[in-house]
Amino acid sequence: KAGVTQTPRYLIKTRGQQVTLSCSPISGHRSVSWYQQTPGQGLQFLFEYFSETQRNKGNFPGRFSGRQFSNSRSEMNVSTLELGDSALYLCASSLDAGFKLEAFFGQGTRLTVV
């Protein structure tokens, strides 16, 4: 079956703009989580959605938001982009909430803010 799909793969935006990233989880998976990866910081947890509800949130400013649709697809939005938002954004899906089972990651969206 198809894996986790993230679009777009690469994105270049200007400071102050906003951006929306998309994630389609593995079919049947209801939990979607988002991570930010920057050099030297590992993967920082952004938020987790399960059945269209945000279940968990990391320590990121309110400029970072997300949502999940009834088909489990998720979008992440970053408003008023800053240079420091340049990163690889990874989406992970799992069957249930809370990562009791392994999470499957997409290839990520590489966002560059100039």
Partner 1 sequence: DQQVKQNSPSLSVQEGRISILNCDYTNSMFDYFLWYKKYPAEGPTFLISISSIKDKNEDGRFTVFLNKSAKHLSLHIVPSQPGDSAVYFCVGGGGATNKLIFGTGTLLAVQP
Binding site for partner 1 (CB under 8 A): 4, 33, 35, 40-45, 48, 55-56, 58, 90, 92, 97-100, 102-108
In the complex with partner 1, which residue's Cβ is closer, 61 or 98?
A: 98
In the complex with partner 1, which residue's Cβ is closer, 43 or 79?
A: 43
Pairwise CA distance, residues 69 & 103, whole Å:
19
In the complex with partner 1, which residue's Cβ is closer, 42 or 84?
A: 42
CB of 67 to partner 1, least distance (A): 19
10 Å CB burial of residue 21 (0-12, 13-18, 19+) is buried
Closest to 91 in 3D by CA, of 4, 26, 3, 27? 4
In the complex with partner 1, which residue's Cβ is closer, 70 or 102?
A: 102
Closest to 72 in 3D by CA, of 21, 109, 31, 20? 31
CB of 23 to partner 1, least distance (A): 11
Pairwise CA distance, residues 61 & 111, whole Å:
17
CB of 54 to partner 1, least distance (A): 12
CB of 97 to partner 1, least distance (A): 8
Asked whether 73 and 52 are in contact (CB, 8 A), the reply is no
